[in-house]
Amino acid sequence: MSSVAAENAKTVENLLAAFEGESNANAKYTAFAAKADAEGWHGAASLLRAAARAEQIHAANHARVIQQLGGEAKCEIHAVAVKGTLENLKTALAGEQYEIDTMYPGFLAEATERKNNAAIRTFTGALEAEKTHARLYGEAIALVAAGKKDAWVGAARPFYVCPVCGYTSETPEEHDRCPVCNCPWDRFETIQ
């Protein structure tokens, strides 16, 4: 049973929608990574796995705030439609773009109006991390579309994921600290 205060109802509804989106993105990217490996796009598979881990971090962060506000973090995981890797990457990028352009800005505006700092923090971390995914997916799409198996998309490679906010980088030591949440870079997870 939910014990969400009336003034937090909309914020919790938004957090639940974000929790569902991130949980399903995690499932989708995990399935897309397996397909990319099967097609020999092992570097694209590495990226999809790193992004999947980041979405899991976002979902866990949102869930924590939902629970703090008296809600229950539950959602439905939908069956994933897996196509070829180029199509899958385009689907992934479209999802990120929706979150960056529409979903998170709207949710952030509502949380800001409510002065809910915990919600603002979890939405901001996710929004900024999704921008790193959109950039990397864009690069991967161009290389896969051109059939460049000799580029980074063709060979398994490490990506670095902030364990706090999910910021994702292709560079081992881009900064001393996460540029989004200030987490020390040496705590980043290496995902391949």
Footprint on this chain of Fe ion (rule: CB under 5 A):
130, 133, 162, 164-165, 167, 178, 180-181, 183
Q: At what angle do helices 42-68 and 117-145 cross, to 10 degrees?
A: 170
Rounded Cα gap, residues 138 and 86, in angstroms: 11
- Least gap, CB of 181 to Fe ion (angstroms): 3
Shortest reach from residue 51's CB to Fe ion, in Å: 5
The minimum distance between CB 167 and Fe ion, in angstroms, equals 4
Q: Which is nearer to Fe ion, 8 or 53 (CB)?
A: 53
User: Which position has the token pair 């603002």?
Assistant: 120
Contact 126, 14 (CB under 8 A): no
Q: How far is 31 from 49, CA to CA, in rounded Å?
A: 9
**CB closer to Fe ion, 66 vs 129:** 129
Is the CB of 25 or the CB of 66 nearer to Fe ion? 25
Write b or e for each residue in 7-36: b if 16 or more Cβ atoms lie within 10 A of its Cβ, otherwise e. ebebbbebbbebbbbbbbbbbbbbbbbebb
CB nearer to Fe ion: give 8 or 123.
123
**What is the side-by-side order of every strand in the sheet holding 168-169?**
168-169, 159-161, 189-191
Minimum distance of Fe ion from residue 96's CB (angstroms): 5
- Separation between Cα atoms, residue 149 and residue 146, nearest integer Å: 9
**Closer Cβ to Fe ion, 119 or 180, answer by number:** 180
Query: In angstroms, rounded to a whole number, what is the distance separating the alpha carbons of residues 127 and 62?
Result: 12
Smallest separation, CB 8 to Fe ion (Å): 25
